[in-house]
Amino acid sequence: MNAPSPLDRVRVVLARPSHPGNIGAAARAMKTMGLAELWLVSPASFPDPVAQARASGAGDVLAAARVVDTLAAALADTVFAAGLTARRRDVSLPCLGPRAAAAEIVDWRARGKVALVFGNEAGGLTNEELGLCALPVTIPANPEYASLNLGAAVQLMCYELRMAAMGEGVRAIARHAPEPATHDEIEGFFGHLEAAIVASGFLDPARPRRLMPKLRRLFGRARLEKEEVAILRGILASFGTAGNK
C-alpha cells in the first residue's frame, strides 16, 4: 500500500490457518479493499510459495505479515477486536452481521488499532479465542451450507469495511471520546478480578459455573475505558486489602 488508507488501522488476524493458499487469498482480498496489515497466529506453513501465488499482486501484504504464537499476542496493542464465528457459541451473546460490525469497527479506528479475527478453516475460532474478541460477527449464510472459504470471508468483511469507511464522510466520530482500555489492560483486570473472587471464595476453581465467561461478556459489552479499568482495579485492591491482609 503506497497511499495512506482510511483502513490502515484495521488489522486482519488469521488464527491458526491450515492452508497457505488461504493466507495468500486473504492478503489479496485485503489489498483490493485497501487493508494492509496482516497478522498470522501459528500458521501451519508460512512463508509458502502457494500463499505467494494466491496473493497475486498483494505480495507486499504477505511480505509485511507478522507471525505470532498466540491470538493474545496479535491483539495486545489493539483497542477493539471483532471475531468471525459461524455459529452462536453462547445464545446470549449479541452477534452482529458484517455490515453493522463494519460500522462499529470503522468507528473504533479513531481510538486505536482494531482487529478483525478469523479462525482456523476447519473449526473456526475456539471459544477461548472468541472470548478475546469484544464483538462476535456472524455472516448470515445459507443455514444448509454456511461454510465460506476463509479467503472469501476475508473478502466479504474487508468489502464491508471499505463500504463503511467510504460512507463515513458524514459520520461524526466523537472527538473527545474517552481513551479506551487496551486488550492487555482489560486482560489485566480480568486476571485481577478472577484472583480476587477466588480469594473471596465466590469463585470455586473446581466448580467455575461459567462465572468468568459471564463476567467477560458483561464487561465486554461495556467496552471498558482506560480510566474505568483503573477504577475497577482500585476497587478490587481495596477489597483485597480489607479482606486478605
The reply on whether position 53 binds a second copy by CB under 8 A is: no
Q: Which is nearer to a second copy, 108 or 219 (CB)?
A: 219
Among 12, 14, 23, 29, binds a second copy (CB under 8 A): 29
Contact residue for a second copy among 69, 122, 207, 244 (CB under 8 A): 244
Dihedral sign (CA 115, 120, 124, 130) = negative
In angstroms, give the least distance from the CB of 105 to a second copy. Answer: 16
Residue from 22, 85, 120, 155 that binds a second copy (CB under 8 A)? 155
Tell me if 57 contacts a second copy by CB under 8 A.
yes
> Which distant-in-sequence residues (6+ apart) come within 8 Å of 108 by Cβ?
79, 80, 114, 180
One of 3, 122, 205, 207 touching a second copy (CB under 8 A): 3
The one among 202, 205, 206, 207 contacting a second copy by CB under 8 A: 202
Site for a second copy in 113-142 (CB under 8 A): 138-142
Which DSSP category does 194 fall into?
H
Residue 123, CA distances (Å) to 10, 90, 100, 165 in order:
24, 16, 24, 30
Say whether residue 46 binds a second copy (CB under 8 A).
no
Angstrom distances, CA of residue 204 to CA of 96, 122, 151, 196, 208: 33, 34, 42, 11, 6
Q: Is 113 helix (H, G, I), strand (E, B) or coil?
A: strand
Cell of 200: 473471596
Q: Which is nearer to a second copy, 2 or 206 (CB)?
A: 2
We find the least distance from the C-beta atom of residue 45 to a second copy, in angstroms, to be: 18
